[in-house]
């Protein structure tokens, strides 16, 4: 017979969710929203939230490595973000260098490869140099692909694909009859990446904000009110658990 001690019971039930290692999403994409709000709630400047969010990026990468996720795509800077106050934009565009200065050795140890999608050439020189260095250093790693969407916008990505396709047709490198979904995908920044299995957006907003419009056609979406700086491992695990539940349900039909 078991005796219960209700007074000793923790009020908050400890989450003990089990994850199926064989049923992980291969590619997870995240819109890391709520950094500015997190800071403002604490009476801190918005940039303090971005800095805290950067640390959470590192923790999230570690969790992804642990779960053997193949690709993690993070929406770090959208083409719309240029409209923010210049001081905030300047601060954000220095974060890659700071991040890599602190964490590149750890990323190397974890066999992480860094890549980017977006208009890389539209970034300031100092940002490009820091990120290019990390790409070069990690190019032979074959663990997690850590894919930063930097100066990324999905509609522009699609328009650029169309322009490139048109050019290839004019130069007789491609015939319009050959154009299908697979071929079109190859003209996007994400060519040779498989589409995301799971999209996460933090901070309560439930929209795509010009992120991976083509690539998310069949992706599971998961939204949380948690602000990005509070996106701890347990929250990520909740998302992965929910993903696995949905997959199981479909599998049953």
Surface-to-core class of residue 176, CB atoms within 10 Å of its CB (0-12 exposed, 13-18 middle, 19+ buried): exposed
Q: Which of 50, 113, 128, 201: binder of ligand V0D (CB under 6 A)?
A: 50
Contact between 54 and ligand V0D by CB under 6 A: the answer reads: yes
Distance in Å from the first CA to the final CA of the chain = 41
Our finding on whether 239 is near ligand V0D (CB under 6 A) is no
Alpha-carbon Rg for the chain in angstroms: 20
Q: Which of 38, 211, 222, 228 binds ligand V0D (CB under 6 A)?
A: 228
45 versus 164: smaller Cβ distance to ligand V0D: 45
Q: Who's near 173: CB < 8 A, 6+ residues apart? A: none
Q: Is residue 245 within 8 Å of 216, Cβ to Cβ?
A: no
Q: Between residues 147 and 244, which has the closer beta carbon with respect to ligand V0D?
A: 147
Confirm or reject binding of residue 114 to ligand V0D (CB under 6 A): yes
Strand ranges across the sheet with 145-152: 113-117, 145-152, 71-78, 27-31, 198-201, 220-223
CA triple 23-191-150, angle to 5 deg: 90
Out of 61, 150, 193, 200, the residue judged to bind ligand V0D by CB under 6 A: 150
Report how far residue 218's alpha carbon sits from residue 99's, in angstroms, rounded to the nearest whole number: 32
| Nearest distance, CB of residue 228 and ligand V0D, angstroms | 6
> Which are the catalytic amino acids?
33, 81
Q: Is 35 in the site for ligand V0D (CB under 6 A)?
A: yes
Pair of tokens at residue 209: 């904000």
Residue nearer to ligand V0D on the CB measure, 92 or 235: 92
Q: Are 224 and 239 in contact (CB under 8 A)?
A: yes
Give the interface size with ligand V0D as a residue count (CB under 6 A).
20
β-pairing verdict for 113-117 and 220-223: unpaired
CB of 67 to ligand V0D, least distance (A): 20
Instruction: Return the residue of 28, 48, 71, 93 that touches ligand V0D, per CB under 6 A.
Output: 93
**Of residues 99 and 189, the one with the C-beta less far from ligand V0D:** 99
91 binds ligand V0D (CB under 6 A): no
Applying CB under 6 A, the residues found at the interface with ligand V0D are 32, 35, 50, 53-54, 57, 76-77, 92-93, 95-96, 99-100, 114, 131, 134, 148, 150, 228
């Amino acid at each position: 017979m078991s005796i219960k001690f209700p007074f000793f019971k923790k009020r908050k039930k400890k989450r003990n969710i089990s994850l199926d290692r064989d049923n992980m999403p291969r590619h997870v994409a995240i819109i890391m929203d709520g950094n500015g709000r997190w800071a403002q709630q604490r009476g801190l400047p918005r940039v303090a939230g971005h800095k805290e969010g950067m640390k959470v990026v590192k923790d999230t990468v570690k969790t992804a490595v642990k779960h053997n996720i193949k690709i993690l795509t993070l929406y770090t800077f959208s083409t719309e973000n240029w409209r923010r106050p210049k001081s905030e934009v300047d601060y954000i565009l220095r974060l890659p260098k700071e991040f890599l200065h602190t964490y590149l050795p750890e990323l190397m140890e974890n066999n992480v490869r860094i890549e980017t999608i977006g208009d890389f050439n539209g970034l300031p020189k100092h940002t490009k140099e820091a990120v290019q260095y990390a790409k070069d250093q990690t190019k032979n790693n074959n663990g997690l692909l850590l894919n930063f969407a930097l100066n990324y916008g999905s509609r522009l990505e699609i328009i650029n694909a169309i322009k490139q396709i048109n050019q290839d047709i004019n130069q007789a490198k491609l015939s319009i009859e050959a154009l299908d979904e697979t071929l079109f995908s190859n003209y996007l920044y994400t060519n040779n990446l498989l589409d995301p299995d799971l999209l996460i957006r933090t901070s309560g907003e439930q929209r795509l904000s010009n992120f991976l419009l083509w690539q998310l056609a069949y992706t599971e979406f998961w939204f949380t009110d948690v602000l990005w700086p509070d996106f701890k491992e347990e929250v990520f695990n909740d998302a992965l658990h929910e993903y696995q539940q949905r997959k199981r349900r479909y599998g049953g039909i």
